[in-house]
Amino acid sequence: MEGYTTLESMNLLNVTKTGLYFMIDKYNIKTWRGEKWNRLYLDKAAVDALVDRPRRRRRDGSKRETTRVTQWGYVERFYPSHPHANSSGYVPEHKLVAEASLGRPLAPGEVVHHMDGDRKNNSPDNLKVFSNQGEHLQVGHWLNAVWRRWSYRLEHSKSLDKDIRAFASDLRKAIKEKNEDRG
């Protein structure tokens, strides 16, 4: 018998695991356990028929949003099969951008930091990956304090070139001191 694994079915149908099990019950999709690794397989023909099914829309006529902003200000994308997806199938966009720029998935415990403090600014230049939360708190927030202090000075400065040179030299000194403290 030919079939799809649970993960393949979730990707094809663009649903979460809970949504997939709901669809298995609702549409009576034939399932079986594979001999290797005891994986759950779904009937290929039934899943293929559901891929092009008519989608239910919201009351206002719109489909599910692919991006949203959380109450804490983070941008999330709908990606239910991703390992970092929450129970609703959304993944923080800064994690997706960091993984793309690193060329690998984030390891467990790695933390992504927004350099400018703006949680909606997910450009690769603004994100820094730390190996753990302790390093993130120690270095990341120290960098934020330096950045905030100097961005205020630059914003309210009359002699911009002089301040930029001073900022660069102060930042070099601060990084050198920080590295000496560690070493």
Residues 29, 15 within the same domain: yes
What are 94-128's pLDDT values in tens digits? 999 999 999 999 998 999 988 777 888 899 988 88
pLDDT band, very low/low/confident/very high, at 83 (cuts 50, 70, 90) = confident
Token pair of 34 as six digits: 């594979």
- Show the domain range for 8: 3-51
| Mean predicted confidence (pLDDT) in 149-177 | 66
What are 29-53's pLDDT values in tens digits? 888 887 777 788 888 888 888 776 6
Residues 111, 73 within the same domain: yes
Cut 0.75: pTM above it: no
Residues 22, 37 within the same domain: yes
Residues 104, 139 within the same domain: no
Question: Could you tell me if residue 24 is inside a domain?
Answer: yes
Residues 89, 118 within the same domain: yes
The answer to whether the CB of 150 falls within 8 A of the CB of 168 is no
Overall number of domains in the chain? 3
**Residue 67: CB partners within 8 Å, gap ≥ 6?**
75, 76, 77, 78, 93
Least confident piece of the model among 5-14, 56-65, 93-102, 159-168: 56-65
| Mean predicted confidence (pLDDT) in 159-168 | 65
Which amino acid belongs to residue 22?
F
Domain boundary among 111, 130, 149: 130
Question: Could you tell me if residue 56 is inside a domain?
Answer: no
Question: Could you tell me if residue 99 is inside a domain?
Answer: yes
Share of the chain above pLDDT 70, in %: 73
Residues 31, 74 within the same domain: no
CA angle 168, 173, 174 (to 5 degrees): 95
**Gap between the Cα atoms of 132 and 182, Å rounded:** 16
